[in-house]
Amino acid sequence: MRGSTKLAVNLLLAVYFQRKACQMIPMPLSSPVAAANQGQLPHAMAIAPVPQLASANSSSDAPAESASEPDCEHKVLQLLGWQQAYDPTEYSINAELPPNCSLQTWQSLGCLKSLTNLTLTGSLFNLPDAWATNGSFLTLQAVNLSTAQLGGPLPDTWGQGAAFPQLRLLKLSTTDLSGTLPAAWAQTGAFSQLVELHLDATNISGSMPSSWGGDGAYPSLSFLSLLYTSLTGTLPATWGERSAFPALSQLAFGSGSQPQCYTLFWDIATRVGQRNTLAEPH
């Protein structure tokens, strides 16, 4: 009798999580993370429409390499038509990337030192290594590119300990991102403040790296979504260790008609012990 009751409960939970698509735990709207998830800006304005800028091939559409950091920030904002959002303390950007933005300007966004929230739409370049340069995005707390046209791989360099020191939300879902989950993202010191990582509905493939469950990896991560990707294989044994993901409260993965959503550490550990497999990509 107890076994049938447990089965019924599990079935109800499976239906609930499938309908909910494993939505994240709500956060206060005062948080930049919550604001980015709900399309709201906590400290600044949405910028639209984007004005026409100089040609992407123009030599003026790139910050001067010798420019000081404040000059670089002002130059990038001016080139992209976002200068009205600037605040020396903190500001947010919610805008379409101008179609004539040059690759060099895209790579230079890291010099926006006071930026706390970045939400972009439109056609984007691949995620640049330059954004992980020491000193880039010093105050950035939330990145939401989930409604943009974005492809390419996740950069290994983003796993450097000095990259994104304040980042709490990284939302890259429903894009054409491809490649594998970078094992380098689990390096000690990497993403030390990251609370939510959304990689669902992408073309990411391969297996889940065992390093992500290693000691020191993702010390603040509470929510991880890998739903509807092309990942295959089993949950790594390291993900079930007691030291793995010390702050994790929700893990979502799988594809097809049976997405999986685990909400407690012991449940993840149990599934690892059962060698829970990912659905084959469709």
- Flag the least confident range among 56-70, 115-129, 132-146, 249-263: 56-70
Quick check: 112 pLDDT over 80? yes
* 234 — pLDDT class (breaks 50, 70, 90): confident
- pLDDT value for 276: 53
Four-CA torsion 40, 139, 153, 210, nearest 10 degrees? -110
CB atoms within 10 A of CB 30: 8
Q: What local confidence, expressed as pLDDT, does residue 54 receive?
A: 31
For residue 31 the two structure tokens come to: 């948080």
Assess contact for 245 and 265: CB atoms under 8 A: yes
270 HSE (CA, 13 A, CB side): 6
Mean pLDDT of the chain: 78
Cis before 49 (ω within 30): yes
- The model carries a pTM of 0.76
The predicted pLDDT at position 274 comes to: 54
Encode pLDDT of 76-88 as tens digits. Answer: 999 999 999 999 9
User: 124-133: string of b/e by CB count within 10 Å (b at 16+)?
Assistant: beebbebbbb
Gap between the Cα atoms of 144 and 36, Å rounded: 6
- Please report the pLDDT score of residue 255 as a whole number: 73
**105 phi and psi angles, rounded to 5 deg:** -65, -40
183 strand-pairing partners: none
Mean pLDDT of 164-193: 97
